[in-house]
Amino acid sequence: MTKSETWNIDELIALTETVQTGEVEYQEKKLLFQYCELTEGEEPKLEMPLDSASEEEKNEVYAKVGLSRIKAMVNKANKKNPEGASITVENWDKIPSSVRWGISQAVLGGGSPSFRNVDDEIA
């Protein structure tokens, strides 16, 4: 069976209930993590920058929005699959920034080839 190149609505909806895993390589070791896509109602509510804000101010706000999204996505997955939790809100700030950047890029950048679904593993 080949994968379709287009999404159907049921597949997209299922992503909001599917725990996905990713991995980030750092100093020749891998960190496995999990996350779950958010619905609109689960998105963190943050103030967006004013049009008159400087680029630096806008970038600061967007960085906070992205970080809030990542934490919400990880928390959602951790609630669905507590056994798979490696990253938590409590330990996020203690992780090296290079690793956090890699996780952020993997989650917000749409994934990487190393990602896999763990639905069957937690069912």
Q: What is the pLDDT of residues 16-48, one digit of tens each?
A: 999 999 999 999 999 999 999 999 999 988 788
Distance CA 82, CA 80 (A): 6
pLDDT bucket at 113, cuts 50 / 70 / 90: very low
Distance CA 104, CA 123 (A): 27
pLDDT at 121 over 80: no
Question: Could you tell me how far CA 8 lies from the centroid of its own chain?
Answer: 22
- How confident is the model over 71-88, as pLDDT tens digits? 999 999 999 999 999 999
Q: Over range 93-99, report the average pLDDT.
A: 93
pLDDT at 101 over 80: yes
User: Over pLDDT 70: what percentage of the chain?
Assistant: 85
Q: What is the pTM of this model?
A: 0.78
Strand order in the sheet with 20-26: 29-35, 20-26, 116-117
